[in-house]
């Protein structure tokens, strides 16, 4: 699924530049993605769109995010630390943080690798039509040995 998300990020500027789901599914299939991988990615993207619509509000100064037991099963110490780093750098406001956590939990594959979490963060920015700060964007790049995002 994450390979499909990387492909979408690299090939479409923003979600509204993507074709309709049926046509997008055909294009992804033509590129060589497996049907199950495509369907998982499209379902995940539907959830991302819903999350973007439902997460609102502004950060409360001095507040602290407490992770639930279920969230801690998905996000290990390294992932929680990375989210905290993005928050403290001022590039991941609370509503976007909640989208990241929601989408990480929606993957449903146990603990998320940090590289996959970085893709989720990029997709949250992408879904809102925003690009992360250039310095933070470097932190979000996945190791070229695994997947290349540029």
Helices (H), 12-113: 21-31, 35-54, 69-74, 77-88, 94-107
pLDDT given at position 61: 63
Asked if residue 99 belongs to a domain, the reply is yes
Residue 148 lies in a domain: no
Distances (CA, A) of 136 to 60, 66, 70, 126, 148: 23, 24, 27, 14, 16
Give a yes or no: residue 85 inside a domain.
yes
pLDDT at 150: 42
14 lies in a domain?
Answer: yes
Domain range for 106: 2-57+64-140
Intra-chain end-to-end CA distance of the chain, in Å: 18
Helix (H, G, I), strand (E, B) or coil at 116: helix
User: Does residue 17 lie in a domain region?
Assistant: yes
> How many structural domains comprise the chain?
1
Cβ-based neighbour number of residue 132 at 10 Å: 19
Q: Give the Cβ contact number of residue 34 at 10 Å.
A: 13
> How far apart, in whole angstroms, are the C-alpha atoms of residue 28 and residue 1?
11
Asked if residue 136 lies in contact with residue 91, where contact means CB atoms within 8 angstroms, the answer is yes
Please give the average pLDDT of every successive group of 10 residues along the chain, which has 150 residues: 92 85 93 95 92 68 83 95 91 91 91 93 90 72 49
Best CA proximity match to 48, nearest among 60, 40, 59: 40
Q: What pLDDT score does 133 carry?
A: 73
């Amino acid at each position: 699924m994450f390979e499909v998300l990387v492909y979408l990020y690299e090939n479409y500027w923003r979600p509204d530049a993507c074709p309709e789901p049926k046509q997008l599914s055909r294009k992804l299939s033509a590129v060589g993605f497996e049907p199950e991988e495509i369907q998982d990615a499209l379902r995940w993207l539907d959830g991302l769109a819903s999350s973007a619509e439902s997460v609102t509000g502004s950060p409360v100064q001095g507040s602290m995010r407490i992770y639930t037991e279920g969230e801690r099963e998905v996000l290990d110490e390294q992932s929680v630390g990375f989210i905290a780093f993005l928050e403290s750098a001022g590039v991941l406001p609370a509503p976007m943080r909640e989208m990241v956590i929601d989408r990480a939990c929606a993957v449903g594959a146990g603990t998320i690798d940090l590289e996959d979490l970085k893709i989720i963060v990029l997709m949250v920015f992408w879904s809102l039509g925003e690009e992360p700060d250039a310095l933070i964007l470097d932190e979000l790049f996945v190791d070229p040995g695994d997947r290349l995002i540029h």
